Structure 1
Amino acid sequence: MMTKLPVSPDRSAGALGWFSLALGAAELLAPALLANRLGLRGRSTLLQLYGLREIGAGLGLLSGRHRSAWLWARVAGDVLDLATLAAARPGRGRAVGLAAVAGVTVLDVVSASAAGPQSRERNKPEPRDYSDRIGLAQPPEQMRGLARTESSAALAWERRNIA
């Protein structure tokens, strides 16, 4: 069973968008530092490319359009990140990186599932109930032509009183 988000799908998508921008900026601006800490020495260019991917996903999420697709793109990126970290040199940094990415992956999957098309159906407002309203003051047979008659009478009254 999928875990429910404690916040709305829109809010979690927005938060993940900002997180993507921050992570992408870090990967772009300090790739050598991150590569060394994660056991990916010599993979700075790869981390910069991952940073561009993160920034793209963040901008997509913050645009507000097709959020479900952007969230699933984040999940795909998480899988790529996990595979890259799994191939990294063993060490504490790699273990911490794997744990962090695994945690974010869970959040991304839950958010993407909550933002899918089926959630839009669940969140659709209930149709309004007008069953207690009466549209016509009298039965339709008695109402037919009444507007025409009343507007003619009003027009005649207006002509008499204005002229």
Structure 2
Amino acid sequence: MPSPPHAPLRADPLTRGLGLFSAALGVPQVLRPAEVARALGVGDAPRHRTATVVVGVRELVAAAGLLGRPHPAWLWARVGGDAMDLTLMGRALRHHDGRGLQRTVLSTAALAVVTAVDVHAALTRSNRKETRRPMELTSTTTVTRPPEEVYAFWRQLDRLPTFMAHLDEVRDTGGGRSRWKASAPFGKSVEWDAETTADVPGERIAWRSLDGADVPNNGEVLFLPAPGGRGTEVHVALNYRIPGGAVGKAVARWFGEEPSQQLDDDLRRFKQVMETGEVVRSDGAPRGKQAREEFPQHPAHPLTDDERAEALA
């Protein structure tokens, strides 16, 4: 069974310590709000007791999250709570009647220190690679060509950009390694080095990116005989991390660059290239998204044997 996406945070001392700290703050605020309010120097008026209870409940919720299912979102929730608390303490200082002023000042200073710790924890734990869940994509197509021929085409890495919309260049650097360059949202590009981890002629190709990749990734392609001798089933599985994590994924989808749809479209084009030698469309088909405009498209027509041989040469 795979580990939870943020399992490493369970063993993180700072995350666990902040969870225990939230629990230690929340319990007395809920059970004895008047005493806590007086200790902070803000008095025990009904509105102060109510605010103290609300803050206590928030702390207990954060503690449950950080100790039960740790995730950077809970750390950011603490940061948001700190901002709220600082606002409340600022108002208390402005409207203070002088009684308990020193306690209020000290409480505000201590809260500022806690806020700094929470911000540090949220930033560093959000940016840790091990807290980012890889995106897992799979797709399948059937090509009416034999597995050996389909494998041979895919194995020549410099041909991959002919059907992968966001892939600009793949260059074989020797020794089972290659250099990849791909387009990213907002006109950016990403590059990485990869190595082939499995290569079974006519059956399977697997790879993984090397350290320092802009987009850490790995994957494999299986070439299986289709039932009834109908050609080859191509099964692709990819795992990678989108820059910017979940935010980057949401932005990419908003701009029409949904990764799972990209993979489906790439395999559709691969099928067309293998069977006809080019990416084809009907005369009335629209050009579609900008990514598809990179490919020369023509009305569909079957290739002659000589044309197909030339395309696959």
| TM-score normalised by structure 2 residue count | 0.35
Mapping of residues 21-32 of structure 1, within 5 Å: 21-32=23-34
> After the TM superposition, which segments of 4 or more aligned residues of structure 1 sit over 3 Å from their partners?
none
Mapping of residues 70-89 of structure 1, within 5 Å: 70-88=74-92, 89=96
Mapping of residues 51-90 of structure 1, within 5 Å: 51-65=56-70, 67-88=71-92, 89=96
Instruction: Say what the alpha-carbon RMSD is for the aligned residues.
Output: 2.8
Mapping of residues 11-160 of structure 1, within 5 Å: 11-41=13-43, 42=45, 43-65=48-70, 67-88=71-92, 89=96, 91-116=101-126, 118-120=127-129
Q: Contact 1:38/1:94 (CA < 8 Å) preserved in 2?
A: yes
Shift of residue 49, structure 1, vs aligned partner: 0.8
Task: Please identify which structure carries the higher strand content.
Answer: 2
Cα distance in 2 between the residues matched to 1:122 and 1:48: 32
Q: Contact 2:125/2:131 (CA < 8 Å) preserved in 1?
A: no
Cα distance in 2 between the residues matched to 1:63 and 1:38: 29
Q: Contact 1:38/1:85 (CA < 8 Å) preserved in 2?
A: no
| TM-score normalised by structure 1 residue count | 0.66
User: Match for 2:75: what amino acid?
Assistant: L
Residue 159 of structure 2 aligns with which residue?
Answer: none
User: Match for 1:55: what amino acid?
Assistant: L
Structure (1 or 2) with the larger CA radius of gyration: 1
Give CA-to-partner distance per residue, 1:20-62, whole Å, 9 cap, x none: 0110001112211121222322111110110000000010001
User: Match for 1:58: what amino acid?
Assistant: A
Relative contact order, higher structure (CA 8 A, sep 6+)? 1
Shift of residue 122, structure 1, vs aligned partner: 9.2
Cα distance in 2 between the residues matched to 1:111 and 1:77: 14
Cα distance in 2 between the residues matched to 1:69 and 1:100: 23
Matched residues, percent identical?
37
Give CA-to-partner distance per residue, 1:84-104, whole Å, 9 cap, x none: 111112501111110111010
User: Number of residue pairs matched?
Assistant: 124
Cα distance in 2 between the residues matched to 1:121 and 1:33: 42
Cα distance in 2 between the residues matched to 1:121 and 1:59: 22
Cα distance change on mapping 1:38 and 1:113 into 2, 3 Å? same
Q: Contact 1:75/1:109 (CA < 8 Å) preserved in 2?
A: yes
Task: Please identify which structure carries the higher helix content.
Answer: 1
Cα distance change on mapping 1:30 and 1:122 into 2, 3 Å? closer
